[in-house]
């Protein structure tokens, strides 16, 4: 592998626009409400779905037409259902009308959080957690903002490229977040090997007491929020709690940059920097890439058009996930596309039994017991894997790399985590269905009560009306009799 560190020093290149964009929207938890239909014309930044508590809005990455809308099974997790929207570009790349804000301090925190939500911003470092939700949860709870500029994976330089070239905007984003969450100190966490970036940051913050730079030792995996908090403060995030619960708000640099663009420039999230890693046959470097750009676009535009003989990963050397469908596209949290030529797989590693050497536990950065997790995952003992905190595993593969028995531990953990998450998802779905059912029952009951009351009212009205007509009839009869008597008397 050639060295890719140099790419982060240069401005990211603009990837030519693809002809078609593939937007995937997770609809596994609750149904997604679409805002577009097939053949509709869309502009860049136009929302494609209505947001809800589970999904932030997703926007068109360019102008064009909605070519197709269909259901797609997630290749990483077959149980997850995605909605796939295909946009055919018109090559004009026309924006919707943007609403930039000159002075964000004139807006309340709630108003700014709403803009961030409507701009579809999620954690771009990998988490994909809604940034607006994170900010809502942090209100009146946090005292420090941690800027995560630590890139765990050795060859990914997307964040470093962003800081090198857009530091001014990132600092502005930090100030916006500090204003929203009433933060008094901003810690910029960066690893010691980024010497040029560190000196650049210092030159920008020299007269700004809000900012402080924290230089961390180069260590894998340094960028996970649990490890970051521990390295910076010595504190551990308690199990099933988050950094905000102990007073720290953590945002990745790319997310902070996206927040700045949403507030100051009024731009919804439609692009991000992606590190593309390839050998000399493929394109390499950092690229401004639209969300929804299909992977095959990286291959067709450049040197080598024959891509049957390649392997593609989303992510880096340690945590990368292999993808098999080249129509899969850049998601909001995709920071790296890694393209490799297929090699002859003649030296397949054999998986042996666990010898309980304990090496895996020594290296686990979040203090788990991988051998126990492996044992219980293999035996599908979901209660035990949960008890041993499998959900805290950050899938860094450190345990797997040191295992003398060559056990693909993370493969077992991923399967087990998916099963547990699906069980939890089913519970959430059941709760939502039960809530809907009880609401419907209440509505029907109310409707019945109202119609019953209306019926009683209308019968009463009818009765009153009947009585009134009877009275009138009786009075008419009476008047007729009296008139007859009066006539008789007058004749006499």
Q: Are 367 and 224 in contact (CB under 8 A)?
A: no
Provide, rounded to whole angstroms, the least separation between the CB of residue 293 and ligand SF4.
29
Tokens for 49? 């779905």
Nearer to ligand SF4, 26 or 395 (CB): 395
Work out whether strand 310-314 and strand 336-341 pair parallel, antiparallel, or are unpaired.
antiparallel
- Residues 394-453 binding ligand SF4 (CB under 6 A) are 394-399, 403-405, 407, 409-410
Task: Tell whether residue 403 is among the known ligand binding residues.
Answer: yes
Task: Tell whether residue 336 is among the known ligand binding residues.
Answer: no
Nearer to ligand SF4, 362 or 434 (CB): 362
Nearer to ligand SF4, 9 or 381 (CB): 381
Provide, rounded to whole angstroms, the least separation between the CB of residue 130 and ligand SF4.
24
Q: How would DSSP label each residue in 380-448?
A: T-HHHHHHTTGGG-----HHHHH-TT---HHHHHHHHHHHHHHHHHHHHHHHHHHHHHHHHHHHHHHHH
Nearer to ligand SF4, 337 or 364 (CB): 364
- Residues 218-247 binding ligand SF4 (CB under 6 A) are none
Provide, rounded to whole angstroms, the least separation between the CB of residue 243 and ligand SF4.
17
Q: Are 184 and 145 in contact (CB under 8 A)?
A: no
Nearer to ligand SF4, 121 or 319 (CB): 319
| Residues paired with residue 72 on neighbouring β-strands, in sequence order | 82
Q: With CB under 6 A as the contact rule, which of the stretches 49-57, 337-345, 379-387, 391-399 interacts with ligand SF4?
A: 391-399
Task: Tell whether residue 364 is among the known ligand binding residues.
Answer: yes
Whether residue 221 is preceded by a cis peptide bond, meaning omega within 30 degrees of 0, is yes
Provide, rounded to whole angstroms, the least separation between the CB of residue 147 and ligand SF4.
23
Residues 99, 103, 105: CA angle, nearest 5 degrees? 120
Provide, rounded to whole angstroms, the least separation between the CB of residue 385 and ligand SF4.
11
* Cβ contacts of 34 within 8 Å, gap of 6 or more: 48, 49, 50, 69, 83
- Residues 342-371 binding ligand SF4 (CB under 6 A) are 354-360, 363-364, 366, 368, 370-371
Name the DSSP class of 245.
G
Task: Tell whether residue 214 is among the known ligand binding residues.
Answer: no
Task: Tell whether residue 161 is among the known ligand binding residues.
Answer: no
Provide, rounded to whole angstroms, the least separation between the CB of residue 356 and ligand SF4.
5
Q: Are 312 and 334 in contact (CB under 8 A)?
A: no
Nearest to 147 by CA among 255, 220, 241, 245: 255
What is the total residue count of the chain? Answer: 492
Residue 466, CB-side half-sphere exposure with 13 Å CA sphere:
6
- Residues 297-316 binding ligand SF4 (CB under 6 A) are none
Nearer to ligand SF4, 84 or 401 (CB): 401
H or E element at residue 85: strand 81-89
Q: Are 171 and 205 in contact (CB under 8 A)?
A: yes
List the binding residues for [4Fe-4S] cluster. 354, 357, 360, 364, 393, 396, 399, 403
Binding site for ligand SF4 (CB under 6 A): 354-360, 363-364, 366, 368, 370-371, 374, 393-399, 403-405, 407, 409-410
List the binding residues. 354, 357, 360, 364, 393, 396, 399, 403
């Amino acid at each position: 592998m050639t060295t890719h560190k140099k790419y982060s020093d240069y401005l990211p290149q603009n990837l030519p626009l693809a002809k078609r964009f593939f937007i995937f929207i997770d609809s596994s938890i609750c149904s997604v409400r679409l805002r577009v239909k097939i053949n509709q014309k869309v502009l860049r930044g136009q929302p494609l779905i209505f947001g809800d508590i589970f999904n932030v809005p997703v926007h068109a990455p360019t102008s064009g037409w909605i070519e197709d809308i269909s259901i797609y099974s997630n290749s990483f997790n077959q149980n997850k259902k995605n909605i796939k929207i295909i946009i055919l570009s018109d090559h004009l790349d026309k924006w919707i009308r943007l609403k930039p804000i000159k002075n964000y301090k004139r807006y309340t925190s709630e108003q700014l959080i709403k803009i961030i939500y409507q701009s579809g911003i999620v954690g771009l470092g990998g988490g994909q957690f809604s940034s607006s939700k994170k900010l809502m949860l942090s209100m009146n709870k946090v005292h420090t903002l941690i800027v995560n500029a630590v890139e765990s994976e050795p060859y990914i330089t997307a964040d470093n490229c962003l800081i090198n070239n857009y530091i001014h905007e990132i600092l502005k984003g930090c100030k916006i977040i500090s204003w929203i969450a009433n933060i008094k100190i901003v810690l910029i966490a960066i690893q010691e090997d980024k010497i040029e970036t560190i000196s650049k940051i210092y030159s920008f913050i020299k007269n700004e007491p809000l900012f402080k730079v924290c230089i961390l030792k180069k260590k894998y995996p340094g960028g996970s929020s649990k490890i970051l908090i521990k390295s910076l403060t010595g504190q551990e995030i308690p199990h099933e709690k988050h950094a905000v619960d102990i007073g720290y708000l953590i945002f990745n640099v790319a997310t902070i940059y996206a927040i700045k663009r949403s507030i100051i420039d009024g731009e919804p999230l439609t692009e991000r920097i992606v590190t593309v890693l390839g050998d000399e046959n493929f394109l390499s470097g950092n690229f401004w890439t639209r969300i929804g750009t299909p992977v095959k676009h990286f291959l067709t535009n450049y040197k080598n058009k024959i891509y049957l003989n390649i392997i593609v990963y989303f992510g880096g050397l340690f945590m990368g996930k292999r993808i098999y469908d080249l129509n899969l596209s850049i998601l909001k949290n995709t920071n790296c596309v890694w393209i490799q030529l297929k090699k002859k797989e003649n030296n397949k590693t054999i998986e042996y039994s666990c010898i309980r050497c304990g090496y895996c536990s020594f290296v686990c950065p979040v203090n788990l017991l991988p051998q126990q997790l492996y044992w219980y995952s293999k035996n599908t003992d979901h209660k035990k894997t949960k008890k041993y905190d499998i959900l805290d595993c950050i899938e860094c593969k450190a345990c797997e790399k040191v295992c003398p028995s060559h056990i693909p531990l993370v493969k077992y953990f991923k399967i087990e985590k998916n099963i547990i998450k699906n069980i939890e998802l089913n519970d959430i779905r059941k709760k939502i269905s039960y809530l809907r059912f009880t609401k419907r029952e209440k509505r029907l009951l109310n409707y019945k009560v109202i119609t019953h009351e209306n019926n009683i009212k209308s019968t009463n009205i009818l009765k009153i009306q009947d009585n009134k007509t009877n009275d009138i009839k009786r009075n008419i009869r009476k008047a007729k009799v009296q008139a007859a008597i009066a006539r008789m008397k007058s004749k006499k």
